[in-house]
Structure formats: structure tokens, C-alpha cells
Structure 1
Amino acid sequence: MKRMESPADNEHLPDEISRAVKRAVRLEWVTLGTLSLTVVVVFLVLGNSQAMKTAWIEDMLSLVPPLAFLISVRVTRKPANAKHPFGYHRAIGIAHLVAGTTLLVMGSYLIVDSLIKLLTVEHPTIGGISLFGHTIWLGWLMILVLLITGIPPVILGHMKLKLAEPLHNKVLYADADMNKADWMTSFAAIVGIAGIGLGLWWADAVAAIVIATSIVKDGASNLSAAVSGLMDARPTTVDNKKPHPLISDAQEFLQNLDWVHAANVRLRDEGQVFQIEGFVIPASRELATPERLEAAESALLDQDWKIRDVVIAPVTHLPNVVESK
């Protein structure tokens, strides 16, 4: 088996990938700072709106993915040792699991809380506030805060999405996807606040349920993807929509070796890097020399920086490990 040094260590990453990692880390720190400020500002104008409360809690929950990313990236830099011979790359998957579970649990709680207020026909009120000698409706401040604080996450989300795919980091992708859709939370909360102002008491609770449902959706999708990854399901692209192209690339590479009659591969996603097991039926037994196997392993390692471990074994029958697309 061929093994590279940990590619999570910037010393062993291609220059463009190393720069992408550093940029992703900077963006996550900016996200933490922006969200922390947002949480404080929204709290100051929280009022009695259930939609505003739910949006505020979502802002706090949004701190979890960037924190998980920063911690997991740091952990993956630890070198492999006797206790962890495959390194610490699974920290990415664990971080993904934690983020997904947090979102799902809190989103479910918020849905129940909002439904209770809707079913008990609770009529929220938004009072006035004195500013510079004038009394204005607090709802206007709420709406202004939501409009202003809803912009930075969307911009940061689009920036992080561009880095998530080349880094194959699903925690970063989940965080970026949540940020990118943050405008919907702000819009729903604004509708709920406007509903209170117009005397539509139920609009506030309905808006809160819409926001909480979005949180649950994010949590469920990320939890499912994280569990699949930790259970060594077939690797997928960073958006979990299709099989990772490295599967077919590795399969094609082995199949095209002139001394190989037939080949199959299976990949294990370790969080941001892959392990490859290749099975080959040589055209004749004599052709499967240690030198040829080692050369094939080295060549596969050179295919992509995300490939960390490769082992190729000559067999007489291929295991059924490749799924149709």
C-alpha cells in the first residue's frame, strides 16, 4: 500500500489548495465575527416576535458549522500514529455530524414552540421605542436590522461555496449553503413582523415555523450525509448529489493498464481525503509483479491530491464493488 503524508498539512498540499485552505479559514473567522455581532444586534431589538426569536436562534446556530470547520481542520493536521494509523481526517465527518445534529434538534424544538404559540392563539405585540426624542414602532428597527444583517452571510456563503468543492470539505459546503440561503430567514422574519403590525397575529408564528422548517431541513440533510460518510457509504461530491468522479477515474485508470484484464475499485471517504482499494485480474499471473503493482499505486496517488492511501491487489475474481451511476 502506498501512503502519502497527511495532505491536510499545508506543507504537503499543492500551492493552490494550500491557499484555498487558508482562505477558507479566514472566511470562517470573518463569519464568526459577523454572526457574533448579528446575534448581539438582533437580541437588542428582539421584542415579542416569535419569528424574530427564531431568526435570532438560527443566527446562534449558524455559529456551529464555522466552529466545527475550524476545529476539524486543526485536528486533521495531526500526523498519523500507532493509535490512529489512518490519521485524523475523520474529524471532518464528526464535525459534519455535530453540526447536522445541532441544527435538527434545535429546529425541531423551534417548530414545536411556534406551533404551541399558534395553537394557543397567542397574540404577540410589538411596542414602541424612544429614539432621539421620538417614539417609533420597534418593528421598523427589527426590519432594518434583518435587512442589514441578512446581507453579509449571503456574500460569505457564495465565497465559501467556491472553496468547498476543490477542498472536498462537506462541513464548509454545509456552512456556505446555510449562509447563502440566509436571506430567506430574514425575509420570513420580516413578513412575520409586518404581519403583527397589520394585526395578523398568526403571521408571526407561521413565519417562525417557516424559518424553523428550513433549519430542520438543513439539519436532516447534513446529518444524513454525515452518517453515510462515517458508515463508509459510496463517496459523493461535496453537495451529496452524485457519486464522486474519483470512483470512475480510478476504475478507468486501472482498467486501461496494458497488463490488466479486468479491474474494480472501491473508495472510502475519510472526510477530505480518500482511500482507494483496487482489485485487478492480470492478463496472466506472471504480469502482476510487485514492481507493476507499486507503479500503479504511485500513479494513482499522483492523480489527485485528495487520494491519500492506495492498495492494489491481484485477484482471480472481482468483488462486486462498483455501482452503476
Structure 2
Amino acid sequence: MRRAVSSVLPPEQSAILAKAVRLEWITLVVMTVIIAAVGMAAGQSQAMRTAFVEDSLALLPPIAFLIGVARARKGRSPEHPYGHHRAIAAGHLVSAVALLVFGLMLLYNGLSGLAKGERPPIGAISLFGQTFWSGWLMIGVMTLSAIPPVILGRMKLKLAEQLHDKVLAADADMLKADWQTGLATVVGVTGIGFGLWWADSAAAALVSMSIVKDGFTNVRGAVGALLDRRAAPLESDEPDPLIEKLRDEALRTPWVAEAAVRSRDMGHVFHSEVFVVPVEGARLRIEDLEELHDRCRDADWKAVDTVIVPVDGIPEGLSALDPRSRG
């Protein structure tokens, strides 16, 4: 009997997903504390004010991830026959847009500051009865605030690869942008202390270029997934290895002469269609199709939603593996 498609991930991936959810809640708490600290120390520094806005935007990816995961856990229904895995793709788009917007904003602020020749005043501050240059407070806050994003980002990137989760990957990119901005702010404020008025804006503009690149790449990937682009690994345009696995399973079946696969990214899992051309004279039974279907399902945990489609010829736009075909 054919196994029903479940919205629940396999045990190993479910455990990894639970860890990712805990990590996102930790991120929300940590980033809230960082936002409050940066806001209090910002003063008139352009880089500090930009860092405050960026830290605020950094809350969007974790929120999008948590909402997407909650929605993706829902099963199929007549209204949603493919399930709700697309919620992960929608969350990826939200995260990617946040990253791109921040990068463009940071680039604009940096370049406009240089063009206008802005000289941010950084005065003195009194604390515990002592008066000192407020730049030291800014440097201390930004140095400390750069540490958690480094740790959280590396942890999320590892989990993203294990889960094939592009929201987590975009979140890791956002955290990378966060600590890079923090270090750039330290450089900028230090430069102001040495009389280099342009250091603040220049540091922000320099870092923004890498952030804009990451944001654009993520937006392109998110839009491509929503437009049913061919499934691909994280941060790659190459076909996902799952496509080759499904072809291999089909082509090693005695009654299959030719095979081709099209697969689209639904979030954590793929929706794949395996088109098979039976050998001449083959008499297919339902049991034969179910046996191939089950082997394809077992080939990879992401192949949870796979269908076998017997055809007379490979559909246009797809290609059979001619060297291994048995036509």
C-alpha cells in the first residue's frame, strides 16, 4: 500500500529543526538586548545609527523562520493539496528582502555622508562620576555586540545545510552583516577619534557592498524558488543531487527504458516528478509503480513528495540520460 505523504520530517531532521527553533528564540532575546544597548550608545554617529536599524531588521529572519516552521507543520488539505512547505520559501523571501534593504540603506547612508562631508559630533559622557569620550562607550558596545552574531551565525549555517533551510541560511547572512557592521562601526568611531571625519561613513559604505551582494543573491534565490525554478543546493545554481538520485533509481528498474526528473523546492522538502518511459512490450502493474515510488522516497529524506509518471516520451524541456537509456 502506498505510504501517505507526511508534513513531519524524519526523526533526525525533526531533532535538528527543534534545535533551530530554540536557536531562533535565543536569537530574538539576544538581539533585543543588543538593539537596546546600541540605541542607548548611538549618539550622533551615522554608523551607530545604521547599526541600530540593522540590528532591528535582524529580528525579521528569526520571526519569519518561526512562523514558516509553524505553518509548514500543517498537513495537506483540499485547499492546500501540496501542503504548507512553501511557507519556508515565503520566509526566505522576507529574510532576503530585509538583508537587501539593509545593505542598500547602509550603502546610501555611507555614500551620502561622504558626499555631504558630514562630521558626526562625538562628545563626552559622564558615568559613575567619571567623564570620558563617548566614543569609548560606542566602541565597547559594538565590540561586545559583534560576538553573539558570529557564534549564532555559524551555528545557524550548519543547521541550514542539514535541513536544506534557506531561511536559516539567509538569517546567517544577516548575522554576518550584523557583526561586520559592528566592526566597521568600531573602525569608523576610532577614525573620528583620530580626526578622520570620513572614517565613519566610509566604513559603513565599504561593508555595505558585501551585504548588498548577499541580499541580492538571496532575493534571486527566493524568487526563483517561488517561480518553481529547478531545485538546487544552498548557495548554488547547480541541480540538487536529489535529481540525479531519483533518475538513478528509475534507470536501474528493469522495465524503465528512459527517465527524467523535474523537481521544485517546496521549503525543506522537494516536490518531484519522475517521468519514466517503459520498455517496449512492458506490462505495468500498480505494484511496479508503487515499488519504484517507494525506492525514490527512500533515496533521500527530501523526496517526501514524489510521484511516478509513466509516459510515451520524455516531456519537452526535460532530457533523459541518453548514455544510460535502454530505448
Normalised TM-score (structure 2) = 0.92
Cα 1:265–1:285 change in 2 (3 A) is: farther
Whether the 8 Å CA contact 1:78–1:88 is kept in 2: the answer is: yes
**Bigger mean CA offset, 175-184 vs 42-51:** 175-184
Q: Which of 1 and 2 has higher RCO (CA within 8 Å, sep 6+)?
A: 1
Q: Say which of 249, 256, 260 aligns to 2:252.
A: 256
Q: Counterpart in 2 of 1:199?
A: 195
* CA distance in structure 1 between the partners assigned to 2:52 and 2:2 by the alignment: 49
Whether the 8 Å CA contact 2:65–2:167 is kept in 1: the answer is: yes
Shift of 1:232: 0.8
Residue 302 of structure 2 is aligned to residue 306 of structure 1: yes
Shift of 1:82: 1.1
* CA distance in structure 2 between the partners assigned to 1:285 and 1:35 by the alignment: 64
Deviations along 1:14-61, whole A, 9 cap, x unmatched? Answer: 222111111000000001111110000011100111111112211111
Whether the 8 Å CA contact 2:87–2:267 is kept in 1: the answer is: yes
Any residues of structure 2 matched to 1:211-222 within 5 Å, and which? 211-222=207-218
In structure 1, give the amino acid aligned to 2:121. Answer: T
Shift of 1:3: 6.5
Percent identity between the two aligned chains: 49
Residue 131 of structure 2 is aligned to residue 135 of structure 1: yes
Shift of 1:98: 1.4
Whether the 8 Å CA contact 2:145–2:179 is kept in 1: the answer is: no
Residue 313 of structure 2 is aligned to residue 321 of structure 1: no
Q: Counterpart in 1 of 2:5?
A: 5
Shift of 1:85: 0.8
* CA distance in structure 1 between the partners assigned to 2:264 and 2:190 by the alignment: 50
Q: Counterpart in 2 of 1:49?
A: 45
Normalised TM-score (structure 1) = 0.92
* CA distance in structure 2 between the partners assigned to 1:308 and 1:193 by the alignment: 52
Any residues of structure 2 matched to 1:68-147 within 5 Å, and which? 68-147=64-143
Q: Say which of 28, 39, 47 aligns to 2:35.
A: 39
**Bigger mean CA offset, 314-323 vs 260-269:** 314-323
The count of corresponding residues between Structure 1 and Structure 2 is 320
Whether the 8 Å CA contact 1:80–1:86 is kept in 2: the answer is: yes
In structure 2, give the amino acid aligned to 1:303. Answer: A
Unaligned runs of 5+ in 1: none
Cα 1:208–1:150 change in 2 (3 A) is: same
Is the partner of 1:307 in helix, strand or coil? coil
Unaligned runs of 5+ in 2: 322-327
Is the partner of 1:275 in helix, strand or coil? strand
**Bigger mean CA offset, 280-289 vs 158-167:** 280-289
* CA distance in structure 2 between the partners assigned to 1:156 and 1:103 by the alignment: 17
Shift of 1:177: 3.1
Shift of 1:249: 0.7
CA-atom RMSD, angstroms? 2.0
Whether the 8 Å CA contact 2:271–2:304 is kept in 1: the answer is: yes
Deviations along 1:273-322, whole A, 9 cap, x unmatched? Answer: 11111111222243433221121112211222222222212222213425
Whether the 8 Å CA contact 2:260–2:320 is kept in 1: the answer is: no
Shift of 1:63: 0.9
* CA distance in structure 2 between the partners assigned to 1:44 and 1:323 by the alignment: 62
* CA distance in structure 1 between the partners assigned to 2:237 and 2:147 by the alignment: 27
Whether the 8 Å CA contact 2:276–2:314 is kept in 1: the answer is: yes
Deviations along 1:213-242, whole A, 9 cap, x unmatched? Answer: 343223211110100101111111122353
* CA distance in structure 2 between the partners assigned to 1:134 and 1:54 by the alignment: 28
In structure 2, give the amino acid aligned to 1:127. Answer: G
Shift of 1:164: 0.9
Shift of 1:182: 3.8
In structure 2, give the amino acid aligned to 1:302. Answer: D
Any residues of structure 2 matched to 1:284-295 within 5 Å, and which? 284-295=280-291
Q: Counterpart in 2 of 1:170?
A: 166
Residue 33 of structure 2 is aligned to residue 15 of structure 1: no
**Bigger mean CA offset, 99-108 vs 240-249:** 99-108
In structure 2, give the amino acid aligned to 1:256. Answer: R
Deviations along 1:185-225, whole A, 9 cap, x unmatched? Answer: 22211111011111111111111212333432232111101
Whether the 8 Å CA contact 1:266–1:322 is kept in 2: the answer is: no
In structure 2, give the amino acid aligned to 1:217. Answer: K
Residue 144 of structure 2 is aligned to residue 161 of structure 1: no
